[in-house]
Every structure is written in C-alpha cells, then in structure tokens.
C-alpha cells in the first residue's frame, strides 16, 4: 500500500489517507485486509476507528485506489453515516453464505 496523500483534518478529528494498492496476481483485498494495512501505516490507530471509503479498482488492472479515514475518538467517528458504519460491522464470513 502506497500513500498518495496524507491530510490531518483537525476540525473533524481524523487523518485522511488517499492510497494506491497494487495487488498483482491477487483479487482486490477485502475491507478487513485494507484496514489492517492502514493500521500498519498509521501506528497507534484503532481498528474500530478506521473507515475505508471510495475504493475503486479499474477493470483489468491490479491497482486499487481508495480513501481511509482514521478517527481520533468514537465521538468523531459518529460523524460517519450509518450505512458506512454498518458496512464496516459485517463479518466477512457471512458474505458468501447461501440462503
């Protein structure tokens, strides 16, 4: 994972990281794997306070662009829309379950 831009947004209590991720000969990484990669880039960040947004993988290319938001506290993280919070709460194991 390569950081394109790192911006501290003190008004919203977060760090905004625009990143590029090269994943040749592998599928697009899952949300939880991207969160783990962001945790390595920002030591001291908490998994519960990281939100990945705007993930885009171009067809035929093994490169993914995205935006990671790393909040300082739970109060600031509550600014995220509810659908984003729900997206980050869903466990990966339930994604491929047939009903």
DSSP state of 77: H
* Helices then strands, each counted (H, E), the chain: 3, 4
Residues 6+ apart with CB under 8 A from 52: 31, 34, 35, 38, 66, 67, 68, 69, 88
More confident residue, 90 or 17: 17
Q: What is the pLDDT of residue 67?
A: 92
Residue-range domain boundaries for the chain: 2-91
Q: What is the CATH number of domain 2-91?
A: 3.30.70.330
**For the segment 18-67, what is each residue's pLDDT rounded down to a tens digit?**
999 888 878 888 888 888 888 888 888 888 889 998 888 888 788 889 99
Three-state DSSP at 47 gives helix
pLDDT band at 92, cuts 50/70/90? low
Partners of 82 in the beta sheet?
A: none
């Amino acid at each position: 994972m390569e950081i394109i831009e790192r911006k501290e947004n003190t008004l919203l209590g977060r760090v905004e990281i625009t990143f590029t991720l090269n994943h040749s000969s592998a599928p697009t990484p899952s949300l939880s794997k991207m969160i783990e990669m962001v945790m390595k880039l920002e030591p001291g960040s908490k998994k519960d306070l990281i939100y990945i947004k705007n993930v885009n993988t171009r067809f035929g290319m093994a490169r993914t662009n995205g935006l990671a938001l790393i909040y300082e506290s739970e109060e600031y993280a509550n600014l995220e829309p509810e659908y984003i919070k729900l997206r980050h709460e869903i466990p990966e194991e339930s994604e491929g379950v047939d009903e």
